[in-house]
Structures are given as structure tokens and as C-alpha cells.
Structure 1
Amino acid sequence: MKTHYLTSVSQIIGLSPEERKEIAETEKWFSFRATDYYLNLIDWSDPFDPIRRIIVPDIAELEKDGDLDPSSESSYTMAPGLQHKYARTGLLLVSDQCGGLCRYCFRKRLFVDNADEVVPDVSLGIEYIRNHPEITNVLLTGGDPLMLPTRELRKIIEEIRDIEHVKIIRIGSKMPAYYPMRISGDQELLDLLAEYSLPEKRIYLMSQFTHPREITPEAMEAVTALLDHGVMILNQTPVLRGINDSAEVLGELFRTLSFIGVSPYYIFQCRPTRGNRTYAVPIEEGYRIFEEARATASGIAKRARFVMSHATGKIEVAACTKEYIVMKYHQAADPEEMGKVLVFRRDPSAYWLDDYSVPVDSCDVTDLNNHRSSHTMRQSNEADTLSE
């Protein structure tokens, strides 16, 4: 089950000396990390290979754009390592290590000097969850929780399972792609998951397959092992330039995931984290790709939603007309915003919610049906909030 982790681009035999020199400065800003298994998926003869683009540094990452905390996660930190943004969900940062460092990572701040958001002892975070009965599901993330030794992961899962009001435990992990043998080769881990993924309160693994070529025979073996041990699997990934930014590739990802028993869940707008612009696709282009990809898949794969994790909530891109783009709060930090619909004039250059001007219109979801029949969209950029 052991693997070799590479932590310097100088160790990548597929790169030429010139390429190593070019990306050396990028590596100083945001570290490189990968497994030998994952690097072997790269076609080194193709300079535009999508797996290479996921994991190998790019000089364009040095552009000083974006923010280290674009979704303002720090403002929702309620205890060391614990975020509570949405009423029913508690998020525990349990690891500051990953099997590989995605170049488009939205939590780069965890992997730079002086990062202190991940704490070795999450007991205060678990105590917070215990004292907040509205929290029905807990997301273990980081970093990658499956980088923890199984015995340490067991301690965390056991403590959370001891909290009666927590019904769902989610584990966010790209290990099924980066090193699937961590799962299929560790019977102790599988037994742990089977022990605590119960009929009345399941464990979900939130996988992060980003490109169809990550779904190897080894990855499918890990997926099968998880399913056989009672774990539900949902997949989420951003739309990324040069990786999955075509309906053909994203559609193939949707279909293949549904074939192997993994439900496509969220397709994210790439967050405006520092260094991520080179990987980002404008929102409206991303929505077109998303809808065209869904059209090639069965109903099971069509359950995916295209969202952005904004500071104010998880905002779904719901529709585009010739003139307008329609968004909806799928989740909201402020419960009063839940279900709120926003309508903006289209802007093909917009990469984030904040790039749009004041909404042409906004309304609560309870008002939407009346609004459709009785209200003509204003032709100004002033917000018009309706209520019954």
C-alpha cells in the first residue's frame, strides 16, 4: 500500500531541464506534491495533457490576482479547525496534507508558511458540534482526511458518531484519483467505514474526479471497495481551463461516474484564489459547457448542479436567456437568503458573482411564481426586491 510522494519538480523525470527551470519560481510560491502513481497517468509527449495540467506547476500561477480566502472561510471559523457556515453543516479541517496538490486549489493558504487553521487536536471543534443540535452532518476535509493514519481517523469518526444529532459524516478526498490503493489496500480503513456507515446514518465520500482519465482500473477498485462497505459516493469538481472545459470531456466524466456507481454532485465555478485565474473559465461559458455535458448523460448524472461557493453562500447558476443570467441561493450563510433568486444582465467576461453589476431583479423563492406572471424585468441596473 506504500507509495512514493514526490515533493519537488526536480524529481519529475517527464520534465525537461528547461521546463523544470521555468516552473521553479512557481514551486517557491505554491508547493508541488504528487504520487508516482498519479504522475504515471500523464502522457509526457503531450504538453497539453490534462492530468499534467492538474498537478504540474504552471508559470501563469505567479500572476498576483485573487485572494487566499476567496470564500471568506475564516469569518465562519467558530472553533479551532471548525467552520460553521450553513446551519446543518459543520466543517472540520482535520488534515493539512494531500495526496497531491491541485494547482487550482482554493485552500492554498493551508499549504503556505505560517498556516495555522488545521489543528492536531479537533476536540474543541467536536465539542462545538456536540453543543449545536442543528448540525446534522459533518464534513471532514482539509487537506485530505485520508492522509491521516487510519487509527487517527478512527478516533475522529468515533467521537462524531457518538453525537446523536449528527446523521451524516462526509469525507472530502481526492485520494480515489491520486492514490486509490490507499483505500482498496487498507482493510482496516474499509472495516472502519463499514462499522460507522449505518443504515440510518451513512458515511459519504465526496470524491474529486476531475477528468475521465483519472477513473482507472485502480480507481474503480477503490470505488467498488467503498460501495461494498456501505459508503455512499458523490463527486464534485470545478470546471477548469485546459482540463475539463468541453462538453465532450465533462459529459464523459458524468457518464463514467454514473456507470461505476458515483453520483455527480457539484460542478463548481473555479474560485478566484490567488494563482487560479489561468485555470478559470468565465461563468457563462462554464454554464454552457455544463448544460451541454448534462445533455449527453442519463437522468442519474443530471443531478449535478453548477454552483459557486461565494462568501455569502452556495449559489447555483440556474439558467441563461439571451439577455439575462439567473442564479439562486442553493445554500446561504444567512437563512433569510435561502432560495433567493438573482437575475443579472449577462456578462461573458464575469468569473465570479462580484463581477456582475447590481442585479436587475431579485426575489425570494416563495415569490417566484407570482413574480413570473406579474412582473416585467426592469431595464435598469437597480435592484428590485419583491415580497408578498
Structure 2
Amino acid sequence: MKTAQPTQGNAVDASQLGAAPPTSSGRRPASEIINFIEGTRTVSPDELAAHSITRYRVTRSYREQIINSGYYDQLKFIVEPSFEEFESPGNLDTSGEHDNTVVSGFQHKYAQTGLLLATDRCASYCRYCFRKRIVGKDSDEIAADLGEIESYIGVHPEMTNVLVSGGDPFVLRTGRLHQILDHLLPFPHLNSIRFGTKMLAYAPKRFEDPALLALFQRIHDARKAAVIVTHFDHIGEISVDAERSIRSLCTRGVQFLNQTVLLAKVNDDPETLAATFAKCHQMGIRPYYLFQGRPVKGASHFQVPLRRGLNIVRGIDQRLSGIQKTFKYIMSHYTGKIEILDLGADGRVYMRYHQNKDPEKIGKIFSRAYVEGGCWLDDLPEGSD
């Protein structure tokens, strides 16, 4: 595959996939020439939609970070479109989010956790996004009636935390985030509010906004934990600005966790991931989940076979100290969050449910016969538990 070189016109204000400007007649062109990693290609909007290819969008700061990091040949795959997206099978709801939506924009899959989708926008668009059906679109899956969500939380005292996600909640104005808190903080049974974000990689200066300090202080004053779940997939994404903001917020009582997706060609080696997790630990972020890539349409080419994934995890563990090994290797499956434990000498993959709608299944170890090249639970034969 030809290696693309950094070019002008790839910053956030450049032309974007699926967003070609109108012609002089006011109509959008029937097709357009798009720059992919492997070269240019003429495609139509219908072709892009048929293959679930998200338009290109990246912030200037992230673009500069990955070019200057020394890891551009790996990190370009996170944000730059590839021909491989046309050949990647899968579906657009790998974790059953539709089935677990209880109120518009609010999911309740696991008893203790509510998931609020605050927006359908992100500062940049990850090529491997598992919410391609939502991100960059005017989605009807986004929270519209916060009062309705508040009413639902009020009659579910088993819920102890809410994760505010999207899209990325920090693309919203701080006033909107305060409005969301207005509907969450009154509940004594909620003991933490989490924000899932990749903005610390894509636009870290967002966290220099003094108004955000008041947001986190409100959570603290309500005697709840304020938690930011960062999304660093590679040490090359961690900028000086990001580290400065994280350290500053840590001193103000904000807790940090990090989730990483295991991505072919990007971070699928133990040395890179061990360095990423060690850097997170050094900054005050607890490595939380290493996610197995999902079989998302237009993004399944990022998946790594389970055998290789387990070897990578073993290599990470060999490189980290005990206090740095806080992550779990997780498959976020339709049936629940599955921790991937080992590939035994008997040729079976051993797993256990880290989370499940049925509390009786949580912690239960089970196994399936491994199929060479298998990347997902559904790739392994049913009935072999």
C-alpha cells in the first residue's frame, strides 16, 4: 500500500467527505474526487452512503500533532479515509444500542449505568467509529427531552452513574453541559457522572476554558465523582496541551480513565500500547479498557484476530509494572461486556462477562472453540460453550 504524505487541505476547514459544495446551479455534484490514503477516487454520495463511509473531518491541532509525533504512518489511519472502507462488512449497531434505548437519547443496558447521548457531532471523525450511524448526521438518537430522561432516572434507584457520551459532549457549549447536569445532580443514588471524550486528543485547548472548572466543581459540590474517560489510542496522540490540562484537572479532583481500541496498523503491537498506558498512568489517568475492534460496517478492517490480541495483551503485561496494569481486554458485545482472558492449550478462548444485563452471568467464565482469524464472539462456533 502506498504511504500517503501529509498534504494541505486536510484540516477541519477543508472539503469533507460527503459534503461537497454545491455547483453553480445550486445542486450537489453527482460524484466527487476524494483523497484517500491510497490515492484519489471518484465516488458518488450514494456510494459513500452504501458503504457507511463517514465524511472526513479532523482538527488542525490533531493533524499537526500526528505529523509532528513521529507516528504519522500509524496515526493517519485513525482519521484519514481508506479504500479498505469500501470492503469492510459488518453492521452499524454491534452492541445492541437500539434495543437498550429506554428514552430517546438514553440507554440503560446494565443496571448501574445510564448512557446519555448528548450530541451527534465530534471534533474529528474516527474512521473506526462504532457509532457511524449517528456521528456527523442529524440523528434522532440524541437526547432531546432531558426532563424525560430525568423522570426515567428518578424511578431507577439501582442506577449509580451516568455516562455522558455522543458524539463528543465537549463539542457542546459549556452552558449545554450545565443544563445536562441540572437533570442529573439532584439524584442521591447517582454517585458519579462520567464524560466520554476524545477531545483531549483532538482539541485539548477546549479544556483550558475556565467555565469548565465550574462544571466539575458543581459535580464535586453535589458529592459525586466527576470522571473524564479519555480516548487515547496511541502515545503519539498525547500532546503537551493535553497533558497540561489533565494534570491541572487532576489537582481539582477530576478523575481520569482511559479507553483504547485495538486497531490494526495503528497500535497493534505491545510496545506501543505499553508506552501509551505507561504515559497515561504517569499523567494521572488509569488505563481502563482495551477494546477489541468491533465488526462495524466500513470499519471492520481495523479488527485484530483474537489470538493476536491476546499475544499483544501478554506483551503489554510483560512491559508494565503492577500498578500500571489496570486495564481489561474487553469485547463490547451485544450480550454484554466480555473480558477476553486467554486462548488455552485446548484451542478454546476463555472469557467472562464483565457486565451483563443478567447479574447472574457477571463473572461467569465460559469458552468457545477458537477459529483461526476469528475477531469477535460471533466468529466462534455457537454451542461450544
Do they fold alike, i.e. is TM over 0.5? yes
* Correspondence 1:80 to 2:104: yes
CA drift of 1:126 comes to: 2.2
- Compute the RMSD of aligned alpha carbons: 2.5
Q: Counterpart of 1:242?
A: 265
CA drift of 1:113 comes to: 5.2
Q: Counterpart of 1:343?
A: 367
> Which of the pair is proportionally richer in helix?
1
Q: Counterpart of 2:40?
A: 21
The answer to whether the 8 Å contact 2:66/2:236 transfers is: no
Q: Counterpart of 1:36?
A: 60
The answer to whether the 8 Å contact 1:7/1:32 transfers is: no
Deviations 1:345-376 (A, max 9, x none): 22231111011113544xxxxxxxxxxxxxxx
Q: Counterpart of 1:270?
A: 293
Instruction: Structure 1: state its 5+ residue gaps.
Output: 362-388
Counterpart residue type for residue 241 of structure 1: A
Deviations 1:278-311 (A, max 9, x none): 2111122112112211221122221100011111
* Correspondence 1:6 to 2:5: no
Q: Secondary structure at the match of 1:21?
A: strand
Instruction: Structure 2: state its 5+ residue gaps.
Output: 1-10, 20-33
CA drift of 1:173 comes to: 0.3
Counterpart residue type for residue 278 of structure 1: H
CA drift of 1:158 comes to: 2.8
Q: Counterpart of 1:302?
A: 325
CA drift of 1:24 comes to: 5.8
* Correspondence 1:202 to 2:225: yes
CA drift of 1:6 comes to: 3.3
Q: Within 2, Cα distance between the matches of 1:153 and 1:303?
A: 29
Q: Within 2, Cα distance between the matches of 1:171 and 1:129?
A: 17
Q: Counterpart of 1:326?
A: 350
The answer to whether the 8 Å contact 2:37/2:83 transfers is: no
Q: Counterpart of 2:247?
A: 224
Deviations 1:243-270 (A, max 9, x none): 1100110111111111111110000011
Q: Within 2, Cα distance between the matches of 1:149 and 1:167?
A: 24
Q: Within 1, Cα distance between the matches of 2:74 and 2:166?
A: 24
Map 1:1-388 → 2, pairs under 5 A: 5-6=12-13, 8-9=15-16, 21-22=40-41, 29-43=53-67, 49-63=73-87, 65-111=89-135, 115-183=139-207, 185-198=208-221, 200-322=223-345, 323-358=347-382, 360-361=384-385
Counterpart residue type for residue 354 of structure 2: H
Deviations 1:313-353 (A, max 9, x none): 00000122222210000000222322221112222311110
Q: Within 2, Cα distance between the matches of 1:115 and 1:78?
A: 16
Counterpart residue type for residue 63 of structure 2: L
CA drift of 1:222 comes to: 1.6
Give the 3 Å change call, closer, same or farther, for CA 280–64 of structure 1 in structure 2: closer
Identity %: 37
Give the 3 Å change call, closer, same or farther, for CA 179–27 of structure 1 in structure 2: farther
